[in-house]
Amino acid sequence: MPPRLKDVAARAGVSIKTVSNVVNGFAHVAPDTRARVQAAIDALGYVPNPTARRLRGGGSGVIALAVPELRSPYFAELAGLIVRSAEPRGWTVLIEQTDGRAGRERDLVAGLRRHAVDGLILSPVGLDPSMMGRDRLPTVLLGERMRGGPADHVAIDGAAAAADATRHLLRLGHRRIAAIGGPARPSAVTRAQRLAGFRAAHAESGLAVDPRLVATVSGMHLADGAAAMAWLLDCNPEPPDAVFCFTDPLALGAIRTCADRWLDVPGDIAVIGFDGIDEGRYSTPSLSTVAPDTARIAQFAVDLLAERLGGGSAATVPPRAICVEHRLVARESTLGRPSRAA
């Protein structure tokens, strides 16, 4: 017969409840007790039975993560970090792609309960708070889409981060700064916040934003950035001397167009992105960016969901909002390459 929970408890000299708390990843277990229980689990070769766990506690040990797209390096990295944060709790993460469609996001919020999923971490694009009914899974929202909404929320301050990126360009002496990634529709709240930060930094410096230097895009990928950069160069008699791109892929695409036009980055046009993806470290030139603390976003999301699923007073408190730090990473695309003599 395979070892049971009570066998682990007897070997570790603790209660069955304590073993259950360790197996389910609950935080309130003393470190030495947790180590003793884990040693007993390892020695006996105990493997939790997910079916029995669900029957006892009503949970499957499966959560869902829904993001707009997995081809985005930012969301791919975020998904990996959430899987890693969920692993110590014994959770399996089901990953869904919404394509930013409000109907798809709404269906996931309402329908995952039927698929034995305990909770949802969602990065919404089209979903409005009014679409989230009361009869839904415990949900944590990511991104700038829903401040003050009906669920726990983890995000950075997108407007402040965009302002920091723009101030960096202003401090370097640039005055005709373009923006690539402007919202093509009112529901694009994340883009609207980044544009607001871009405008706010200009206002602080007493500068007006030239509307001809704001390029809207239908997507946030390499090709969109390349096309938007070409539009800025072709449609402006006086081209920009710097560009703030609302994602790093947009920025990398813009740099490609500059290279195709024999324009030096940053000598002719400085470029800064947003997201802090790893690819930006290895581009030529390396990409300046605003980097959210993605690891903390993932950990906070998992922890908030665990508190909701754990029962007790934490499961009934009003929705909480956590603002995670960001940092400016200045690299060659704005600062230039160091001289060989240096």
Residue 250 is classified by DSSP as: H
Give the model's pLDDT for residue 55.
43
Give the number of domains in the chain.
2
- Answer yes or no: do 189 and 246 share one domain: yes
Domain that holds residue 260: 158-291+328-335
SS3 277: coil
Put the strands of the sheet holding 152-155 in their side by side order. 92-97, 62-67, 119-122, 139-142, 152-155, 321-323
**What pLDDT score was predicted for residue 218?**
87
Question: Which residues of the chain carry a pLDDT beneath 70?
Answer: 1, 24-28, 48-59, 111-115, 128-136, 144-149, 185-188, 311-315, 340-342
34-70 as b/e: b if 16+ CB within 10 A = bebbeebbeebebeeeeeebeeeeebbbbbbbbbbbe
Same domain? For 240 and 205 the reply is yes
For residue 131, the model assigns a pLDDT of 63
How far, in Å, are 143, 185, 204, 209 from residue 174 at the CA level? 29, 29, 14, 13
Nearest to 75 by CA among 142, 132, 128, 137: 142
Residues 6+ apart with CB under 8 A from 43: 11
Q: Do 259 and 168 sit in the same domain of this protein?
A: yes
Round the average pLDDT of the chain to a whole number and report it: 86
- 178 and 280 together in one domain: yes
Same domain, 198 and 264: yes
145 and 97 assigned to the same domain: yes
Task: Please say whether the dihedral angle defined by the alpha carbons of residues 28, 31, 33 and 37, taken in this order, is positive or negative.
Answer: positive
- CA-based nearest residue to 179, from 159, 204, 149: 159
Q: Please report the pLDDT score of residue 48 as a whole number.
A: 65
Whole-number pLDDT of residue 126: 74
- Whether 258 maps to a domain, the answer reads yes
Q: Are 196 and 159 in contact (CB under 8 A)?
A: yes
In a domain, 342, yes or no: no
Q: 268-300, pLDDT tens digit by residue?
A: 999 999 999 999 999 999 999 999 999 999 999
Contacts of 140 by beta carbon, 8 Å cutoff, 6+ apart:
119, 120, 121, 122, 151, 152, 153, 154, 301, 304, 305, 308
216 and 152 share one domain: no
**Which residue(s) pair with 322 in the sheet?**
154
Residue 152 is part of a domain; what is its CATH number? 3.40.50.2300
